[in-house]
């Protein structure tokens, strides 16, 4: 996996005088896996690279939120084979 960007949303809020609990958006993926998917399904590029939101709730618990690969499959009318590749990328990222 390649981490393409880490966006400190809490830091961006503080830079303009606003308060926000810790929140970071991480953009990550695998160009070898993602490029053929985007070639087959160009609209998938709006959702790739994959994103994970790491955030803290009001109780201090930390969460990781991501789009479900099934949602991506439906959103981009993907057939099962490419969906399997997206699912594998997400599962590897969460381990």
Q: What is the CATH number of the domain that holds 51?
A: 3.30.310.70
Domain count, the chain: 1
Q: What is the pLDDT of residues 18-36, one digit of tens each?
A: 999 999 999 999 899 889 9
80, 83, 87, 88 alpha-carbon torsion, rounded to 10°: 80
pLDDT string in tens for the chain (95-residue length): 899 999 999 999 999 999 999 999 999 998 998 899 899 999 999 999 999 999 999 999 999 999 888 888 889 998 866 666 667 767 776 66
**Beta strand 62-65 pairing with 50-56:** antiparallel
Q: Which range of residues forms the domain containing residue 39? A: 2-94
* pTM confidence score: 0.83
Helix-strand-coil split of the chain, %, nearest 5: 45, 25, 25
């Amino acid at each position: 996996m390649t981490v393409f960007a880490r966006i400190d949303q809490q830091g961006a809020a503080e830079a303009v005088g606003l308060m926000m609990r810790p929140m970071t958006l991480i953009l990550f993926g695998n160009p070898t896996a993602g490029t053929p998917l985007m070639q087959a399904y160009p609209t998938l590029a709006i959702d790739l690279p994959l994103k994970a939101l790491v955030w803290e709730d009001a109780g201090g618990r930390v969460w990781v939120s991501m789009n479900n690969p099934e949602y991506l499959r439906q959103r981009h009318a993907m057939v099962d084979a490419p969906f399997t590749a997206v699912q594998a990328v997400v599962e590897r990222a969460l381990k």
